[in-house]
Structure 1
Amino acid sequence: MTGKPGDLNELRDIIRQAQLENTPYPDDPARRITVGKDGTIYRGDQAGDEPVSRVHHGTFAADRRLAADLWFARAKMPEGTVYVDEPDVRGWAYSITTELNERYTLFAFFDGREYRVKLVDPPLEQLVRENVIGAHDGHLYPDGTICLSGTRGVGQPSLEEAYAKSVLWALGMGFVRNGYAFPFAVEGR
């Protein structure tokens, strides 16, 4: 069928094979897909003088990080976890109840470098702003962002690590709220 419109099954098989082989522009003309000026999709190189455009056979613009995060959230985050996809806000909203029977709603997001977590509820950042709880003592910044790392600033390299550390943080914050030192940091001894 070189030079002729391809059927859907052939096109699908060509694209999938190229993706498996990581060959976005196959050398074999029979395994190429092109598109004519009128939008006709061809298998192989178009015969004749009609100008055609090569099709990149790689995966469509799938965000592998987001795909991995979707899997992780479904498999390992609390039931009721929601992915929020708004123009200025993208991330995972989830609620947990600690061993101290305190409920926290948190929001994990990727800032372009790392995963950060913001406290949504209870609104403890007000206590930090009023200096009732020191930012260093509670590992909570006045904007509600949780400090999850001393070496990389405030985040973690993966959603999994940010989620897990935020749950541990919530338990530690429960101790701070009850008048004790944060138990999961050397400076808390």
Structure 2
Amino acid sequence: MSGNPGNPSDLNELRDIIRQAQSLGAPYPQDPAARITVGRDGKIYRGDQAGDEPVSKVHHGTFAAPSRRAERRLAEDQRFARTHMPEGTVYIDEPDVRGWAYSIVTELDERYTLFAFFDGREYRVKLVEPALEQLVRRNVVSAHDGHLYPDGTICLSEARGAGQPTLEEAYSKSVLWALGMGFVRNGYRFPFAAEGPFAAEGR
């Protein structure tokens, strides 16, 4: 960090400015000496940079951290996955991908690999294998008939693209979907939906 006038002299000074604002509950301090800004050159300044150069205000509040509610939900989901989901279920924890990957074999002896995740509001499930979403993209199977969107997301409820309120319900309904999809792949209507009879297409 440079020592130019208006720049915090070191990281300790920058830390103190931020922490002072947080302790006062002031995300946007009024006193220029008690706030920082960022210039278009990417440099951090204390107060407003002199001259005509535009600066961006900085929210001095605490960086986001997992809430206790989110931590409790994750702990409950981990217990459920450990005791109720298939052996070999893996929790994937990557910056942009967090959820459970699991594989099942249906009563039709078909294997499916699925991925369940919480999107901030509900639990959704995506099909990993087999890549049946390609059938939807090519209009071999309609999204309506297969309850599967072109991006591989399974439709688990009446609302478009909606999931289920818990990991338990998302998992159990994804198993039911996989069995129903097996019938669709063999030329029958999806058997677990009210809109169509359990009969072969065209009969």
Q: TM-score range by the shorter chain?
A: 0.5 to 0.7
What's the counterpart of residue 183 of structure 2? 175
1:155 partner SS: coil
- CA deviations over 1:57-87 (Å, ceiling 9, x no partner): xx97870000000000000000000000000
The answer as to 2:131 corresponding to 1:138 is no
For 1:60 and 1:170, locate their aligned partners in 2 and report how far apart those are by CA, in whole Å.
34
What's the counterpart of residue 72 of structure 2? 64
What's the counterpart of residue 106 of structure 1? 114
What's the counterpart of residue 96 of structure 1? 104
The answer as to 2:117 corresponding to 1:119 is no
Of 66, 73, 81, which residue of structure 1 is paired with 2:89? Answer: 81
Change (3 A) 1:135 1:158: same
For 1:112 and 1:152, locate their aligned partners in 2 and report how far apart those are by CA, in whole Å.
16
The answer as to 2:164 corresponding to 1:159 is no
Change (3 A) 1:88 1:175: same
Q: Which amino acid aligns with 1:78?
A: P
1:123 partner SS: coil
Q: Which amino acid aligns with 2:100?
A: W
Percent identity between matched residues is 81
Note the C-alpha offset of 1:153.
3.9
Change (3 A) 1:60 1:176: closer
Q: Which amino acid aligns with 2:139?
A: N
**Higher RCO (Cα < 8 Å, 6 or more apart):** 1
Note the C-alpha offset of 1:146.
0.1
Gaps of 5+ in 2: 1-66, 198-203
What's the counterpart of residue 157 of structure 2? 149
Alignment of 1:4-23 (within 5 A): none
Change (3 A) 1:77 1:112: same
Gaps of 5+ in 1: 1-58
**Contact 2:154 / 2:161 at 8 angstroms: preserved in 1?**
no
CA RMSD across the alignment? 1.6
Q: Which amino acid aligns with 2:122?
A: E
For 1:141 and 1:60, locate their aligned partners in 2 and report how far apart those are by CA, in whole Å.
33
Moved over 6 A (4+): 59-62
Does 150-159 or 108-117 show the bigger shift? 150-159
Note the C-alpha offset of 1:188.
2.0
Count the aligned residue pairs: 131
